[in-house]
Structure 1
Amino acid sequence: MGSFDWDLVSGTMIMDAGALKVFDMGPDEYDGDPTTLSSRVLPDEGRRLDTLVTHALKDGSDRYGAYFRIRRRDGSQRWTHTQGLIHRDETGRPHRILGIVRDASEELTESAARLGLDEGRRKRTSVVESTTAALAHARTVQDVIDLLNDSHGLEYFGATSLVMGLLESGRIHLVAEGPAGAFVPGTRFTRVDEPYPMSEVVRTLTPRFIESAEEFADSYPILWPHISGLGITSAAYLPLIAQARPIGALGLLYGDRTGFSADERNLLVALGSSIAQSLQRAMLYEQEHDLAEGLQQAMLPRRIPDVPGAHIAVRYRSARLGRDIGGDWYDIIPLPGGRVGAVIGDVQGHDTHAAAVMGQLRIVLRAYAAEGHTPATVMARASVFLHELDTDRFATCTYVEVDLATGVMQVVRAGHVDPLIQDADGSCRRLPVEGGLPLGLSAEFGRLDFPVTALELDPDQTLLLYTDGLVEKPGTDLDEGMRWLCSLVRRGPRDLQRLADELCEVVDEQGGDDDVAILLLRRHGAYFPRTGGRLQQHVGQSDPEALRSARHMIRAAVRAWGAADRSDEIELVADELVTNALMHTDGGAIVTLRMLAGPERRLRVEVEDRSSALPRRREAGESGVSGRGLLLVEQISDVWGVESRGSGKCVWCEFDVNSMYIDRT
């Protein structure tokens, strides 16, 4: 340290020996001119120092201070500090500066070290904070493990890998195995009372820091021989505690360090706490997911029935938000006469309540369709049901009834996205369908007249029904999504199952926020379930002439269609069915005869009435005069059954007429 006296009037600066020593300059090298010192001061530092002093002189300051660097005669640099006291005359004009200069190298070195230490602490804290923020997005235990393995935090702390175990029924289940080749046979499940580091921290709820390989070998002689070849030099085992109870343990393994500072220990404990909270959330999520997935599967159809004349593929993919379930559903409903109902729908929401409403709505809609109601009536009744269900949810839906013999489709749309049609050549296009309000809302506003669109599905054409999660994407409109889907279907495989899988893979890759249901139905080109003719006649109550006319029609048709060998049987069974309808219901009956084509030619007799009461077979007794009708039908016909219709029921039976008369005695 030295001092100087700077006469601003003459420009002379007197410096003592200490000041000259700071500048590494001898008395014979300094001539009293301040500019002589500029050879020692770095150019940029000199300009900055001149600017500082000039401002202090002009703005009325009485002192100044600054750090600057000088270059000593050996070329090395040294930090220097100067302070000056400015003297002014009566007018405020500066005329003299008295000050000191000193070597500040050691001072700034220590300050830099402190700044570096603080920066290191901030960086480690930032790593923990960033890791904690990333863990907030982990939904499963595997997500937590993958995130930690990929985290820069472990890299910064020097850990080469990690091991993790979760507490399950008094045992620790190893879910992350550390570096390759680190798995020790027999440690997949270990008891809490066994002499392993994870067991110890779970028992004691206290972190265990192992600072050297020797300490590891001494503390855990059973484990160390199995991992000694991995080059582990230290380890930190942390209990994972959530809500004051242990849920597992985390081990960080190091291969190039020994010992842990107090700051490092504290930060690792904080990291363990964040991981524990994330793991607890992940385990709760997986439990809820399993429950929700079971509920979802219970609500969707357990299997899709085989439908002669059609090839069908269905898929469901859950949302990535909420509990991974929602209100999307599909259904296939076999209908009489070679018809099939195809349903796709979406109940608002992504939770168990949406799934529960979906299950009820699916069953009700299926029941209405199976009763024989028209597509518009099915949708209207389903809307009323949803409105009366005491829920705030609405649903969009498309119901399509397809006659696989003729290809005629009746389409009803309730606020849902339009279906698509894929032609036999693979091209795909949107199918504009007039629609009504969503189910529930249409009942609330009294708009239950759903328009029906009649279309035709040609042989080898495919009907594509889907929910909006497949085509709605952030930042794009629905039309763009529809064009994208048409392009995807056009380029996709012709096999329906592979096409459905490919559509689901695209959904998985995009990670959409909505669940998706898909139903693909392709009509076979060679399916003709009804050929050969169809005759129908109404038989009124108390109208013997109509009954005789119906018998005559049956007899004539059977002979004309080449089934004369069984005409007596067919006439007897038809007469029994008509008589039952006239006796046990109010109103008349409609008798229908049709010839079915297939591997075997079959003649079908149908008798419809307005009663929803189903017939039941009963024993007549030895002296009974009634009760044998259905027994007779069952014995004579090849197959028989009952179908509910919207306005009543239909009792039917079929006869094999492909071969000559079969002796049934």
Structure 2
Amino acid sequence: MVDRGASALSLPDDWPAHPDPILALNHMGSFDWDLDSGLFHMDAQAYEVFDLRPDEYDGHPSSLAHRVPGAEGHRLDALVARAMKDGSENYGTYFRLRCRDGSLRWTHTQGYIRRDATGRPRRIVGIVRDATQELNDILSRQEQAAQDEARRRQTNVVQLTTAALAHARTVQDVIDVLKDTHGLTHLGAASLVMGLVEAGRIRLIAEGPEGSFVPGTDVTRIDEPYPMSEVVRTLTPRFIESPGEFAERYPILWPHLTGLDITAAAYLPLIVEARPIGAMGLLYNDRSGFSPEDRNVLIALGSSIAQSLQRAMFYEQEKDLATGLQQAMLPRAIPRVPGADVAVRYRSGSLGRDIGGDWYDVIPLPGGRVGAVIGDVQGHDTHAAAVMGQLRIVLKAYATEGHTPATVMARASVFLHELDTDRFATCLYAEADLSTGVVQVVRAGHIDPLIRRPDGTCRRVSVEGGLPLGLSAEFGRLEYPVATVELDPGHTLVLCTDGLVEQPGADLDDGMRALTALIATGPEDIRDLADRLIDVAEERGGDDDVALLLLRRLGPGAPRAGGRLQQHVALGDAEALTEARHMIRTAVRAWGARDRADEIELAADELITNALIHTEGSSVVTLRVLSGGDRRLRVDVEDSSSALPRRREAGESGVSGRGLLLVDLLADQWGVEARGGGKCVWCEFVVPEPN
């Protein structure tokens, strides 16, 4: 029976192995340097490392000098001397050897310093080995790492540039991104040129740096011998890797570029959906060629730029179309208004074709009056603009027909509701009598107006409003309260849409306060003030449109016309009755009839009261100044009843029947006129011309 345990434990006779075979297996040679005698012993493998035969070496280190270049020998001697001096136990380094055939190869040595009891170095034992392959591997890895880093940087530039281009809306935005210090300049380009294809030609849209423009290249034909023309023609990029190649390929262009020290260039077609929309050129003064990786990065960059340019071109086309549509819907010109100075402004939102329904209008009315309109149709699209255009026209028509401000607003709401649309609109209509300064304001869900005084102070005018146009008709709430505001000479009425007020995350009241402060500190000139307000909106940006209307009442020296004011008074509406009385009182004094103010106010009040009591319906009060012969102030009270009033004596204990008697006593003339389905009771007072 075999003793398995004894067999397993038996060892070879040459165990443990001598180190020399182990070193030889790893292509290492050993040496033993006796520092006392100066002898430097090497084994057979060390001879191979030094490319020596035994008969070529006498055992002294100096015999190796012809194998170690001088600079390398000095470095080795200094390294060993420093290790012996500073008490080191070992050292190691790479150095170059000159082989028998004269070639150089890298070698590595490592030595162990043996010292005596006093610390004096006595011997150095160590190894030498051929390190050529090792260093080649290291250098290859370093070179690969450097190439990887270069590709990473280039990829990062492409990614950063692509990310920046994502925010570019216009063609100029794209150009600015490419010229930015964080753009293509990271690729080392010294100059950039870019052109767009237009009607068989290439129009230059960017060139830099300053002074690099080549005369005659602002517009070139696609069939001309220029690099951008060639890449557009062939849809293939061109990489020029030397000045000589540039001069040979493009002899017409090259003489103009010699001052830029161009050494290489890359011209890329800008292609979208297999169609060239332009070309781009990158010119370098520190490059001598393009690796495959470089070319792939630049081609990818060109594709990204082409997509951004296409988006920018579409954006600009849509913006132009939208702006044109919006401008076509707004009044082409603002009429001249005697007695007032008017300024209007409009700023479109920042979204391409997503225009808004903001509008303004100025409506000359008979009797020296003027209507001022500001409004905003819901939504930001061409449909909103189309609805706005229709609404603006009908609102102007209703105002021109002579309807009261409340009726104008109610009828406009019904019109919008009957349109085949789901849109509503906010609106503010102000009807101003420029001879008296009395302004009647109606608000349909819109923001309040503001008034700026000649001293610069500005205040918000709180106006009770109704529902937005369209909604008030849908819910059967067509009542629009009328507020009366006095606009003295030099005062400015400011109407605007919410795009000038609202800011993301901010309260509307805060926005109104900010706007009030801005108007108060703005320029005195009405047009400069309008420009300043729009400039602020432009600086702030935002996607909403802004419409702005400023109306300033001129001073006494301005042309004056006959006055005309109207007020709608509904049955049971005490506030409307109060507003009508206030309107009459203000107008009478402004029209120079202060001496007869009490008489006129009392007579008008009696006519209004009679209409409300005896007709059980609403009435419309109109004040006018009549010229020709004696100057007269006329009060009309219209109602929907065809029953004519009768003047009768009141009994001793009666409280009614005295109204028309008072009117007869107070007025110079009075009468009744049939008006279709209703009537008009009127009275007139002779008033002197104002001084």
- TM-score over 0.5 for the pair: yes
Write the distance in 1 (CA, Å) between the matches of 2:540 and 2:195. 32
Deviation, 1:532, is 11
AA in 2 matched with 1:294: G
Alignment pair present for 1:213 and 2:240? no
Q: What per-residue deviation string (whole Å, max 9, x for no partner) do you get for residues 7-26 of structure 1?
A: xxxxxxx998969999x998
Alignment pair present for 1:339 and 2:369? yes
Give 1:62's aligned residue: none
Unaligned runs of 5+ in 1: 1-13, 30-71, 81-100, 535-589, 611-643, 650-657, 659-665
Q: What per-residue deviation string (whole Å, max 9, x for no partner) do you get for residues 270-314 of structure 1?
A: 111111111111112222222212111110111111111111111
Write the distance in 2 (CA, Å) between the matches of 1:531 and 1:171. 64
Alignment pair present for 1:429 and 2:462? no
The structure with the larger Rg is 2
Aligned 1:467-506 pairs, distance under 5 A: 467-506=497-536
Contact 1:182 1:230 in 2 (8 A): yes
Write the distance in 2 (CA, Å) between the matches of 1:325 and 1:497. 24
Give 1:186's aligned residue: 216
AA in 2 matched with 1:509: E
Contact 1:420 1:430 in 2 (8 A): yes
Contact 2:360 2:549 in 1 (8 A): yes
Find 2:626's aligned residue among 594, 617, 620. 594
Give 2:260's aligned residue: 230
Write the distance in 2 (CA, Å) between the matches of 1:212 and 1:323. 47
Q: What per-residue deviation string (whole Å, max 9, x for no partner) do you get for residues 1-41 of structure 1?
A: xxxxxxxxxxxxx998969999x998999xxxxxxxxxxxx
Find 2:154's aligned residue among 101, 112, 124. 124
Deviation, 1:203, is 0.6
Write the distance in 1 (CA, Å) between the matches of 2:281 and 2:485. 65
Secondary structure (helix, strand or coil) at the match of 2:190 reads: strand
Deviation, 1:201, is 0.5
Give 1:250's aligned residue: 280
Deviation, 1:528, is 7.0
Write the distance in 2 (CA, Å) between the matches of 1:165 and 1:648. 74
Give 2:327's aligned residue: 297
Alignment pair present for 1:259 and 2:303? no
Equivalences, count = 488
Find 1:366's aligned residue among 392, 396, 399. 396
Alignment pair present for 1:409 and 2:439? yes
Deviation, 1:226, is 2.0
Distance 1:170 1:532, change over 3 A: closer
Secondary structure (helix, strand or coil) at the match of 1:152 reads: coil
Q: What per-residue deviation string (whole Å, max 9, x for no partner) do you get for residues 349-368 of structure 1?
A: 22212111111111111111
Deviation, 1:132, is 1.4
Aligned 1:246-325 pairs, distance under 5 A: 246-323=276-353, 325=355
Write the distance in 1 (CA, Å) between the matches of 2:409 and 2:474. 14
Question: What TM-score does the superposition give when structure 1 sets the normalisation length?
Answer: 0.66
Deviation, 1:181, is 2.1
Deviation, 1:133, is 1.9
Deviation, 1:78, is 7.3
AA in 2 matched with 1:439: L
AA in 2 matched with 1:262: P
Q: What per-residue deviation string (whole Å, max 9, x for no partner) do you get for residues 175-201 of structure 1?
A: 113322222232221111111111100
Give 2:359's aligned residue: 329
Give 2:560's aligned residue: 529
AA in 2 matched with 1:211: E
Contact 1:429 1:486 in 2 (8 A): yes
Find 1:157's aligned residue among 187, 200, 225. 187
Write the distance in 2 (CA, Å) between the matches of 1:220 and 1:159. 19
Distance 1:289 1:26, change over 3 A: farther
Write the distance in 1 (CA, Å) between the matches of 2:535 and 2:564. 47
Distance 1:112 1:507, change over 3 A: same
Write the distance in 2 (CA, Å) between the matches of 1:647 and 1:358. 34
Write the distance in 2 (CA, Å) between the matches of 1:646 and 1:424. 46
Write the distance in 1 (CA, Å) between the matches of 2:222 and 2:423. 49
Alignment pair present for 1:446 and 2:476? yes
Give 2:39's aligned residue: none
Secondary structure (helix, strand or coil) at the match of 1:305 reads: coil
Deviation, 1:518, is 0.8
Distance 1:331 1:592, change over 3 A: closer
Write the distance in 2 (CA, Å) between the matches of 1:367 and 1:646. 22
Unaligned runs of 5+ in 2: 1-17, 36-78, 84-90, 95-107, 109-128, 566-621, 640-674, 681-688
AA in 2 matched with 1:438: P
RMSD over aligned CA atoms reads: 4.0
Distance 1:205 1:219, change over 3 A: same
Secondary structure (helix, strand or coil) at the match of 1:286 reads: helix
Identity of aligned residues (%): 66
Contact 2:563 2:625 in 1 (8 A): no
Write the distance in 1 (CA, Å) between the matches of 2:235 and 2:467. 59
Write the distance in 1 (CA, Å) between the matches of 2:677 and 2:514. 40
